[in-house]
């Protein structure tokens, strides 16, 4: 894990080997130190560093030598020392957030729930499940309809339909970030493509070289956050986001996709509402480059 923030500290030795970096978190006391730094950061508005003695008191360690030893193990990757004290690095803050989100500790499972939606392949009811951070919607025949990750803290007290709503929100935001060139998970740059050669119908694909996050969806997903498509629904009195993503005809129905050009890729997608059709042209990276309105 690397961090390229605007750190002003010097002589910090950070390890880029994940095993070394995470090895530094092997002692529970070090997690307590990160938590104390995180708590301090939340309590204070401007001053984000805390002195050695204050920090030691907060963590509740009597022996300064022992405390210094453990604090030193965190230096570089997770904690940085400035002139007036210590604070979390970007990676340290992310680790604490992940621990608080339950990413590394909770395993939450919810009983399957039938949704008010039918599988577009076999017409059986759509069934949602939540397990190990994954919200999955499929049917009795296991046709994949939708899946997205939802952090355990967000799922813990929620009913499954609420988790599905959140998963859909995260999916839309994920598409928006990806189409803007940023990985939804780690925010590094990500490249996307509309694959047409082997896949029939065309699919949208993006894979992050930095964190490995991967996104594969019907090409219609590219229209979910498109302002013209959202406005088109609105103009007819509908809210696009009131529908389950997999229920939207322009997402599920491959007959609405037309490959009009192979190199460079141009796919036309028909979005029809109340007898009016908006045809959006999507390019090789999944971006809408043209619209055409066709009346009844």
Can you give the binding site for Zn ion, defined by CB under 5 A? 119, 121-122, 139, 141, 143, 183, 185-186, 208, 210-211, 213
The nearest distance, CB 127 to Zn ion, in angstroms, is: 9
Contact (CB, 8 A) for 30 and 83: no
Q: Which two tokens stand for residue 204?
A: 């949208």
Angle at 269 between CA 264 and CA 270, to 5 degrees: 150
Rounded CA-CA distance 223/245 in Å is 11
Q: Which two tokens stand for residue 184?
A: 């939804």
**Residue keyed to tokens 């399957």:** 112
In the complex with Zn ion, the residue whose CB is nearer, 49 or 252, is 252
The nearest distance, CB 107 to Zn ion, in angstroms, is: 23
The nearest distance, CB 190 to Zn ion, in angstroms, is: 6
In the complex with Zn ion, the residue whose CB is nearer, 106 or 143, is 143
Rounded CA-CA distance 288/281 in Å is 6
Rounded CA-CA distance 6/173 in Å is 27
Phi, psi of 129 (to 5 degrees): -135, 160
In the complex with Zn ion, the residue whose CB is nearer, 4 or 10, is 4
- In terms of Cβ atoms closer than 10 Å to its own Cβ (0-12, 13-18, 19+), residue 230 is middle
The nearest distance, CB 181 to Zn ion, in angstroms, is: 12
In the complex with Zn ion, the residue whose CB is nearer, 71 or 137, is 137
The nearest distance, CB 110 to Zn ion, in angstroms, is: 20
Torsion of CA 235, 240, 246, 252, to 10 degrees: 20
In the complex with Zn ion, the residue whose CB is nearer, 17 or 142, is 142
The nearest distance, CB 24 to Zn ion, in angstroms, is: 23
In the complex with Zn ion, the residue whose CB is nearer, 185 or 261, is 185
The nearest distance, CB 59 to Zn ion, in angstroms, is: 32
Q: Which two tokens stand for residue 50?
A: 């805390």
In the complex with Zn ion, the residue whose CB is nearer, 139 or 267, is 139
CA dihedral sign of residues 74, 77, 79, 82:
positive
């Amino acid at each position: 894990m690397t961090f390229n923030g605007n750190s002003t500290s010097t002589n910090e030795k950070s390890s880029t080997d994940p095993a070394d970096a995470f090895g530094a978190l092997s002692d529970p006391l070090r997690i307590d130190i990160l938590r104390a730094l995180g708590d301090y950061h939340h309590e204070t508005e401007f001053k984000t560093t805390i002195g050695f003695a204050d920090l030691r008191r907060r963590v509740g360690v009597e022996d300064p030598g022992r405390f210094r030893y453990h604090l030193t193990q965190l230096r570089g990757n997770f904690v940085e020392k400035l002139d007036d004290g210590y604070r979390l690095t970007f990676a340290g803050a992310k680790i604490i957030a992940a621990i608080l989100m339950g990413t590394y500790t909770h395993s939450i499972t919810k009983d399957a729930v039938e949704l008010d939606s039918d599988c577009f392949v076999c017409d059986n009811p759509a069934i949602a499940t939540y397990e190990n951070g994954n919200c999955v919607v499929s049917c009795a025949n296991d046709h994949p309809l939708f899946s997205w990750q939802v952090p355990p803290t967000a799922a813990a007290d929620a009913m499954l339909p609420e988790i599905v709503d959140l998963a859909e929100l995260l999916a839309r935001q994920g598409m928006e970030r990806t189409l803007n060139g940023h990985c939804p998970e780690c925010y590094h740059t990500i490249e996307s493509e509309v694959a047409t050669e082997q896949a029939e119908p065309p699919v949208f694909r993006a894979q992050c070289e930095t964190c490995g996050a991967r996104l594969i969806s019907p090409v219609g997903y590219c229209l979910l956050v498109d302002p013209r498509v959202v406005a088109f629904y609105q103009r007819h009195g509908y809210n696009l986001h009131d529908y389950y993503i997999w229920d939207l005809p322009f997402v599920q129905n491959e007959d609405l996709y037309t490959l009009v050009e192979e190199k460079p890729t141009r796919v036309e997608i028909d979005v029809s509402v109340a007898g009016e059709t908006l045809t959006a042209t999507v390019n090789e990276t999944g971006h809408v480059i043209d619209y055409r309105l066709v009346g009844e």
